[in-house]
């Protein structure tokens, strides 16, 4: 008898807690994908009993109901008619699911999303810039050579035009036109604007604007006064400006007639965005800069090194906001004024070297190859005084290393202040600072304190994953499963290569093609492609590094999300849901981070067979339709950790 699509949709809707509880709905080839506002309002048991729903699990903030190929689209159409919702794409649902995350997570996620794509550029540039500056100060005469000029130009490019890179990446993150984003970024560092790094130099101001009073000229735009200063080194103002641009652009695309949209929307978008950027966003940050500058000047005069410690802690925050270039004003004033030497440099150096220490700890402690590949060169760049790669690429993304670096910076800056060290120039920190500091032995101790405190704190505070527990040693046998923790003796159970989208056998036994699983639903592929495993031993390990997306109340099935958003269902036995958990023990919970080879479940094969059920375990990629190439590469006898299938996006 054919499925009543309308009735199926109505029943699903009735158990979701009302229309206001449904944020978004979409479907793929086999599943209805829903984003729910409050999961506690869902009647999950009732949903599983709806005729037409062959399975249900939660993954990446989505509630996914498995309905089947050729059927789900018809149920989806009826679902939209019943609920009055607007059709959404899978990308829309993923975005809606991400939007359900806590506000602080969403705020911190934006800089990470923006900077990850441009990390190779700033890591390479930062490392090269630090090396070139160090060589220029260490080797007399090298700074006057053509090679120095060429290398200095190449290394400085990514940072001189950083707002452009940030603008393009931000436009991509917020769904705007990346070329319009580039225009906004270029406007913020236009050649008619004074380089932000020179705002404290009277000589540079006079030379650039051909004036003699050292005052930066302004533009009068309506009731606004706009100082002709660029945004080199800035990050937050650029992100805010381009995010605004994306909002304006999308609004115009919806409201401007298609006939004139091609030229009206880009024109108005760029004009309005740049006007608001230079008249509102820019001035707000300029005022904030002045406050921070005044506060910094006051703090470093506070006795007992307390003020310096405070500045050593908050200095990285000003780097995040792109305000750190203004400190050149303080340094220049110290060198030319009554002090006669730069006592700010040790503070900045301690703060930067602490971020190096925190980043180095991440590089050494991380298991993820990609994290290591970014963290190590970024830490080296930070040791040379260029901290943007370390901060944006590693420490600020993970936050705990960033905070540990702030603490290390405070400790080092305090030591530098009470020992009274200073520098004879400005613009250098970290290792190149040895060429400018007036007390090398004390400077060495200060750097050691800064990096050491940050390194040790990061080492103990930051963890790449949740602590690993109950990791399986298959040689121990079922009797020892509850206590086993060693996977090193098991071939193929090392950490998953982050570039690889593969599933490794979670059981030991005989692997059979998915269509041979003795269950019509599994064999039909409606729940996704995969294999069956006739287990030789009664336990399940993680098939890759991932996150537990669901655990059946009856303990017989586990969902896990892994590399490339692979969504896997491990269903032990056929019809074992009827055993109501008897003979099963689960060692993880929904939301747990797990490592490849970690023990997930133990089950009693004999008890399953005695109850009259097959122990054949379905290992299915429930979203196999999301991938262009799904390949099973192993059947027959398999040990734990042997590769079973791979996918290509």
**Catalytic machinery residues:** 28, 571
Neighbours of 615 (CB within 10 A): 22
Query: What values do phi and psi take at 156, rounded to 5?
Result: -85, -10
> What does the alpha-carbon distance between residue 402 and residue 361 come to, in Å, rounded to a whole number?
11
**Nearest alpha carbon to residue 35 among 17, 53, 14, 49:** 17
Give the residue from 523, 556, 551 showing the smallest Cα distance to 538.
Answer: 556
Q: Strands of 536-632 (E only): list them.
A: 539-541, 546-551, 557-561, 567-571, 584-586, 593-594, 599-603, 617-621, 629-632
In angstroms, the CA 284 to CA 329 distance is 19
Q: What are the start-end ranges of the E strands in 537-616? A: 539-541, 546-551, 557-561, 567-571, 584-586, 593-594, 599-603
DSSP letter, residue 123: H
Laid out side by side, the sheet with 502-504 consists of 502-504, 643-648, 629-632
Round to whole Å and give the CA distance between 506 and 640: 6
- Measured CA to CA, the distance from residue 553 to residue 519 in angstroms comes to 21
**Distance (Å, whole) CA 325 – CA 337:** 20
Q: What backbone torsions phi and psi does residue 586 show, to the nearest 5 degrees?
A: -110, 140
- For 203, residues 6+ apart whose C-beta sits below 8 A from its C-beta are none
Helix (H) or strand (E) holding 445: helix 440-461
> What residues form DSSP beta bridges with 502?
646
The CA distances from residue 179 to 171, 228, 241, in Å, are: 8, 24, 14
**CB-side neighbour CA atoms (13 Å) of 38:** 7
User: Tokens at residue 194, please?
Assistant: 């004074």
The label of the residue with tokens 């590769």 reads 643
Can you tell me the distance from the alpha carbon of 619 to that of 644, in angstroms, rounded to the nearest whole number?
A: 10
Phi and psi dihedrals of 460, rounded to 5? Answer: -95, -25
Return the SS3 of 20.
helix
- Hey, what are 488's tokens? 């090193």
Q: Residue 258 and residue 80: Cα distance in Å, rounded?
A: 28
Continuous segment of H or E residues that includes residue 273? helix 258-276
Structure tokens at 67: 């309905």
- 511 phi/psi in degrees, rounded to 5: -90, 130
Give the residue among 266, 238, 244 at the shortest CA–CA distance from 253.
Answer: 266
The span from the CA of 604 to the CA of 612, in Å, is: 13
Give the Cα separation of 353 and 358 in Å (integer): 9
């Amino acid at each position: 008898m054919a499925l009543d699509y309308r009735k199926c949709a109505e029943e699903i809707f009735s158990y979701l807690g009302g229309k206001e509880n449904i944020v978004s709905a979409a479907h793929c080839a086999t599943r209805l994908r829903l984003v729910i506002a409050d999961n506690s309002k869902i009647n999950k048991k009732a949903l599983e009993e709806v005729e037409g729903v062959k399975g249900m699990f939660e993954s990446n903030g989505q509630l996914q109901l498995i309905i089947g190929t050729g059927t789900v689209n018809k149920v989806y159409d009826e679902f939209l008619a019943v609920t009055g919702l607007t059709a959404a794409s899978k990308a829309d649902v993923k975005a809606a699911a991400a939007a359900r995350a806590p506000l602080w997570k969403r705020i911190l996620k934006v800089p990470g999303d923006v900077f990850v794509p441009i990390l190779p550029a700033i890591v390479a540039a930062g490392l090269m810039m630090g090396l070139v500056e160090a060589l220029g100060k260490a080797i007399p005469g090298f700074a006057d050579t053509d090679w120095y000029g060429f290398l200095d130009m190449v290394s400085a490019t990514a940072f001189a035009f950083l707002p452009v890179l940030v603008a393009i990446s931000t436009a991509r993150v917020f769904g705007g036109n990346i070329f319009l984003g580039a225009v906004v970024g270029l406007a913020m560092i236009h050649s008619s604007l004074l380089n932000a790094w020179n705002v404290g130099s009277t000589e540079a101001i006079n030379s650039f604007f051909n004036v003699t009073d050292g005052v930066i000229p302004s533009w009068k735009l309506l009731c606004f006064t706009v100082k002709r200063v660029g945004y080199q080194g800035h990050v937050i103002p650029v992100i805010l400006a381009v995010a605004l641009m994306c909002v304006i652009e999308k609004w115009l695309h919806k409201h401007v007639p298609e006939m004139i949209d091609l030229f009206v929307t880009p024109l108005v978008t760029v004009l309005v965005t740049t006007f608001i950027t230079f008249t509102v966003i820019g001035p707000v940050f300029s005022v904030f800069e002045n406050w921070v500058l005044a506060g910094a000047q006051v703090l470093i005069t506070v006795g007992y090194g307390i003020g310096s410690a405070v500045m050593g802690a908050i200095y990285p925050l000003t780097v995040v906001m792109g305000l750190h270039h203004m400190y050149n004003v303080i340094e220049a004033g110290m060198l030319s004024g009554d002090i006669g030497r730069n006592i700010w440099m040790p503070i900045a150096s301690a703060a930067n070297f602490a971020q190096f220490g925190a980043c180095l700890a991440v590089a050494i402690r991380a298991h993820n190859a990609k994290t290591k590949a970014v963290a190590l060169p970024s830490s080296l760049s930070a040791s040379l005084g260029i901290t943007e790669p370390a901060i944006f690429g590693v420490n600020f993304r993970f936050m705990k290393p960033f905070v540990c670096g702030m603490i290390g910076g405070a400790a080092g800056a305090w030591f530098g202040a009470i020992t009274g060290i200073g520098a004879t120039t400005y613009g250098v920190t970290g290792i190149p600072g040895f060429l400018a500091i007036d007390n090398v032995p004390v400077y060495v101790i200060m750097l050691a304190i800064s990096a050491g405190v940050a390194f040790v704190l990061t080492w103990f505070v930051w963890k790449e994953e949740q602590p690993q527990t109950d990791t399986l040693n298959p040689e121990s046998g079922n009797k020892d499963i509850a206590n086993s923790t060693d996977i090193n003796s098991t071939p193929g159970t090392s950490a998953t290569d982050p570039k690889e989208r593969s599933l490794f056998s979670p059981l030991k036994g005989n692997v059979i093609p998915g269509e041979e699983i003795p269950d019509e639903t599994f064999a039909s592929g409606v729940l996704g492609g995969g294999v069956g495993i006739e287990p030789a031993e009664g336990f399940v390990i993680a098939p890759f590094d991932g996150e537990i997306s669901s655990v059946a109340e009856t303990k017989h099935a586990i969902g896990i999300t892994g590399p490339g958003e692979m969504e896997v269902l491990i269903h032990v036995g056929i019809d074992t849901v009827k055993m109501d958990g008897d003979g099963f023990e689960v060692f993880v919970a929904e939301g747990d981070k797990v490592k490849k080879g970690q023990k997930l479940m133990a089950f009693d094969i004999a008890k399953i067979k005695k109850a009259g059920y097959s122990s054949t375990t379905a290992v299915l990629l429930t979203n196999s339709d999301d991938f262009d190439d799904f390949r099973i590469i192993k059947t027959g006898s398999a040990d734990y950790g042997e590769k079973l299938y791979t996918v290509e996006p």
